[in-house]
Amino acid sequence: MRKKKWIKRLAVVLVILLVLLVFAANIVVDLALVPEKMEQTQAFEDITKDSYEALVQTDDIEQNRMSSLEKANQWAQTSESQELSVTTQDGYRLISRAFYQEGESHNWVLLLHGYTGWKEEMYPIAYEYAKRGYQVLVPDMRCSGESQGDFIGMGWTDRLDNQLWLEMILDMDERAQIVIHGQSMGGACALMMAGEELSEHVIAAVSDSAYTDAYSIFKKQLKDWFHIPGFPLVDGASLMLQMRGGYSLKEASALEAVKKSTIPLLIIHGEEDAFVPVEMAYELYDAADCEKEILIVEGAGHAQAPDKAPKEYYETVFSFLETHGMTGFG
């Protein structure tokens, strides 16, 4: 009799723990991947603040950042541009802005922003491509900026969304040569796209500050921000995301994607990145089974390489692209 009571009590405890885990896992999904929920609980502001505080704060980085923003904003305001839109397979409208250059250039760049970011954050890099004659397309990925969506895609759902932009570029320019360049989540997405069957018009990918996979970065941030171990909460969140959002954190893997890449990859990372550890860049580079280069920028934090060492950054990027066929004006 006592044994039966003990078993019943244990079962009740396990059920309660399971309910609490499901509840907590759904909260993690909401606060990390649903912008509407993030805004209601100030999670967006907290994440933005924590991310900023994790950056390297030096005068040279700040001066270069402000200078590049000023130049990029002036360029964006005076350049010929057009708002474009596509509709995803699950019915969401995504927005981008295309910037067109004078002349007969068939070189294109698809620029991908980071987690909780928006297309305008990529304008400083867009400006550098435009200076060199590239046509530029900069989207707001799902749930970001002006684009619709349910859950932030962590690069995984975005890898398919962004192929719609590749198709649009080829509709506008059948001779296009395209490079995919992303930062942070956008960098991970660029690598995830590289693992897909892409058009032969996609020449290369540049990935700046990418994580290996969404599960690992969630696990790290949960520990850093809340001092909570990843298991079982991140595993529960991954399961809830699979049920609610159609993908899991573990399958959102740039590391697995680069093993299948057939296009050249340039992997860039700041040596002092406190958000995405630089070790992840080495993991990605070592796993890539294709032509590849790596640039580690000393003194740069998360996505700060262009501001810490702009000359080295852009010389490396465009030398890499020239090596792989992106020369002149296409």
Confidence at residue 229, expressed as pLDDT on a 0 to 100 scale: 77
Which of these, 121, 156, 145, 131, lies nearest to 247 by C-alpha position? 156
* Degrees to nearest 5, angle at CA 114 with 212 and 288: 30
67, two tokens: 């200078």
158-167, 169-178, 225-234: least confidently modelled range: 225-234
Residue 41 pLDDT exceeds 80: no
Q: Which residues contact 156 (CB under 8 A, 6 or more apart)?
A: 189, 192, 214, 247, 251, 252
Taking only the tens place, the pLDDT of each residue in 253-274 is 999 999 999 999 999 999 999 9
Residue 65 pLDDT exceeds 70: yes
Model confidence, pTM: 0.94
132-136, 224-228, 275-279: least confidently modelled range: 224-228
* Degrees to nearest 5, angle at CA 140 with 25 and 86: 105
Alpha-carbon distances, residue 189 vs 19, 105, 276 (angstroms): 33, 26, 14
- Beta-strand ranges (E) seen in 197-301 are 202-208, 265-270, 292-297
What domains can be seen in the chain, in order of their start residue?
Answer: 57-213+252-323 (3.40.50.1820)
Confidence at residue 330, expressed as pLDDT on a 0 to 100 scale: 42
User: Confidence band (pLDDT; 50, 70, 90) for 296?
Assistant: very high
Confidence at residue 13, expressed as pLDDT on a 0 to 100 scale: 67
Cis link prior to 310 (omega < 30° from 0)? no
Taking only the tens place, the pLDDT of each residue in 165-184 is 999 999 999 999 999 999 99
Report the pLDDT averaged over residues 90-100: 97
Residue 251 pLDDT exceeds 90: yes
Q: Is 58 helix (H, G, I), strand (E, B) or coil?
A: coil
Computed over every residue of the chain, the mean pLDDT equals: 92
- Cβ atoms of residues 266 and 292 within 8 Å: yes
Residue 23 pLDDT exceeds 90: no
C-alpha to C-alpha distance for 133 and 126, rounded to whole angstroms: 11
Residue 328 pLDDT exceeds 60: no
- Cβ atoms of residues 179 and 162 within 8 Å: no
Residue/partner pairs of 274-279 with CB below 8 Å, 24 or more apart: 274/54, 274/55, 274/301, 274/302, 275/51, 275/54, 275/184, 275/209, 275/221, 275/301, 275/302, 276/184, 276/209, 276/210, 276/211, 276/217, 276/302, 277/220
294, two tokens: 């790596």
Report the pLDDT averaged over residues 281-302: 98
Confidence at residue 4, expressed as pLDDT on a 0 to 100 scale: 66
Confidence at residue 6, expressed as pLDDT on a 0 to 100 scale: 67
